[in-house]
Amino acid sequence: MFKRLRTLLLLLCFVVAAGVYAQGAPERINDALADLSTRLGITITLNDLQNWSWGQDNYPDTSLGCPQAGQVYAQVLTVAYQFDLTYGGNIYDYRVAADGSLVLLCSITALAEVTEVPLGVGGDPSLSNPICPAPPVGIIYPPTRFIFGIQGRVTPGLPNNVRTEPNVNGALAGEIPGGATFNILAGPQCDEFGNLWWQVDFDGLVGWTAEFTNGQYLLEPATAALLPTGLEAISVDNADQISEVSRLQGNFAPALAWSKSAEADAPPLLIALGARGSGGAWIYDTNAISESARIVQPGTDLTTIAVGPESTLPLFGSENGGIRLWDISANTTLVERAFLQSQADPVSAVAFSSDGTTLAATGGRAVLQQDVPENQFAISLWDVATVSQKPVALRGHTAEVISLMFNTDNTMLYSGSQDATVRFWNVADGSSTSTQLPAAVNAMALTSDGTTLIIGLVDGSIQTVDIAASIASPFAQNGTPITSVSISPDGTLLAFGDGGGIVHVWDIAERTELMVLQGHTGLVENLSFSPDGTLIASLGEDNTIRLWAVVGGSVG
């Protein structure tokens, strides 16, 4: 019996329902299920499991990461899957070679032996907050939801002490009542007990208060305003009435996306990535935007996000080169469904085909079946049905690729790069053509009819590229770099953010500016129209997400 510690990432109570992303499990999981069935003397299917998860990795030998005493293993690079199958009160850790030649039961762990490690205590020090110093023995510094310059509040209930120094021995300077809001001036300071301290200003009371202590968070980002009801879809006719309706604050990375809830009448979810020290993905229910986000913590920083047809299973890229699928359905526990080692460097862009059959990823050096120098800045393709890397490798860019998107029938993949080109890839054979642009690409969007790419460049220009002709032409010129672009669901509006913190809304057909949205105090890092077209979410360097809308009803 192998005893191990598990963090909150392992979600033991989630029951896998029939049909929940059935194609998200690779075929090799059947080999693990067959072996488990033989060992237990009964037939076990996915639907019999209490929980399951999987990942794919490259192992240096045929031990597949779990060598046994007295065994000799071939020293050959072996691609294999790891499956954690929870059944009958035990977790069975299986390793299965991608070609099915090896099926190894690595360990069996009783659920009673799985220890949920309290934040700030014990566990793997490599999981400690990277913005804190190396933790003392027995301590893990937890993720922070703060960064200086934003507003926070004390969680409702007891007041928080404010001290003259960032430790429990500092002199008491006062207190902040439960639910009260304050400004964050500096921090964090990480003490020897696993506590995180921030210098704050509460109505002139300046001092240090603890975000986290004794295994719980005492502070949270300031509450966002409830969204008004009766929001109209933003259109050419009403774009001049757009205003800010709510604001989220936190330690955000420059990536966000919208994901519809599984229920037809449910509000969309807004997903933002956490920056270094915060990490993970922050998931907001727009019906309850004033409540704290649910946060996915995968154990490594996430770098980018794409949403596919099953929009409650977004695709994330991560700092360690992996791409991940998480189930973020409302009213369920957050569950990681897949991990694929796609890159040797941080992932810079991911894409999900509209039919849900193919994933694409890029960033630095790609981990491809053939190891050649041209793998630098290459793009890998993954087949969702078999959960395996496709043999086609997309090589040709000479600098970082920052945007990927499939065409409407998923036969082509478009990539925009800092090498000042956009490439058009045939996903069947990997052939490509390219269009030269005046400057490096910062952002890219595809028009709803699938005929035109709209591309924002670092030189402040926006170019349109006619896909059929592979010809670029100027659309607009801005005074600062274009940092993000998004097209409204009906295809009539272009929203783009710039290096001056401005959000611009344009009529695409008339090529005229309709509205300028000001409020961010740093460049606009990302923006996106909501799936129903009623909201624009813009993420700024000022660590705020501003929600813009045309108000047609009352506050709910």
**Which contacts qualify for 38-45: CB closer than 8 Å, 24 or more apart?**
39/105, 40/87, 40/88, 44/87
pLDDT bin (cut points 50, 70, 90) of residue 113 is low
Residues written for the chain: 556
Cα–Cα distance, 511 to 207 (Å, whole number): 51
Query: What superfamily in CATH does domain 125-221 come from?
Result: SH3 Domains (2.30.30.40)
* Phi, psi values for residue 467, rounded to 5°: -65, -40
**pLDDT over threshold 60, residue 121:** no
Cα–Cα distance list, 413 to 76, 453, 463 (Å) = 33, 12, 18
**pLDDT over threshold 80, residue 18:** no
Instruction: Find all residues with CB under 8 Å of 155, minimum gap 6, and list them.
Output: 178, 179, 217, 218, 219, 220
pLDDT for res 139? 84
pLDDT bin (cut points 50, 70, 90) of residue 149 is very high
pLDDT for res 17? 25
Cα–Cα distance, 223 to 152 (Å, whole number): 8
Query: What superfamily in CATH does domain 239-549 come from?
Result: YVTN repeat-like/Quinoprotein amine dehydrogenase (2.130.10.10)
pLDDT for res 25? 66
Angle at 447 between CA 387 and CA 467, to 5 degrees: 80
**Encoded amino acid at 381, one letter:** L
Of the two residues 296 and 162, the one the predictor is more confident about is 162
Q: What is the pLDDT of residues 333-358, one digit of tens each?
A: 667 777 888 999 999 999 999 988 89
Helix (H) or strand (E) holding 413: strand 412-417
pLDDT for res 262? 56
Cα–Cα distance, 380 to 360 (Å, whole number): 6
Q: What is the pLDDT of residues 470-508, one digit of tens each?
A: 999 999 999 899 999 999 999 999 999 999 999 999 999
Q: What is the pLDDT of residues 225-241, one digit of tens each?
A: 999 988 999 999 999 99
Cα–Cα distance list, 406 to 260, 344, 453 (Å) = 20, 23, 11
Cα–Cα distance list, 244 to 31, 227, 550 (Å) = 53, 10, 9
**pLDDT over threshold 70, residue 9:** no
pLDDT bin (cut points 50, 70, 90) of residue 555 is very low
Query: Quick one: tokens of 52?
Result: 């399951």
Where exactly are the structural domains of the chain?
A: 5-115, 125-221, 239-549
What's the rounded mean pLDDT across residues 411-427?
A: 97
What mean pLDDT is reported for the chain?
A: 87
456-493 core/surface letters (b: 16 or more CB in 10 A; e: else): bbbbbbbbbbebeeeebeebbebebbbbbbbbbbeebb
**pLDDT over threshold 90, residue 556:** no
Cα–Cα distance, 273 to 145 (Å, whole number): 11
pLDDT for res 526? 97
pLDDT for res 53? 76
Cα–Cα distance, 226 to 245 (Å, whole number): 8
Strand partners for 247: 546
Please give the model's pTM, rounded to 2 decimal places. 0.82
**pLDDT over threshold 90, residue 386:** no
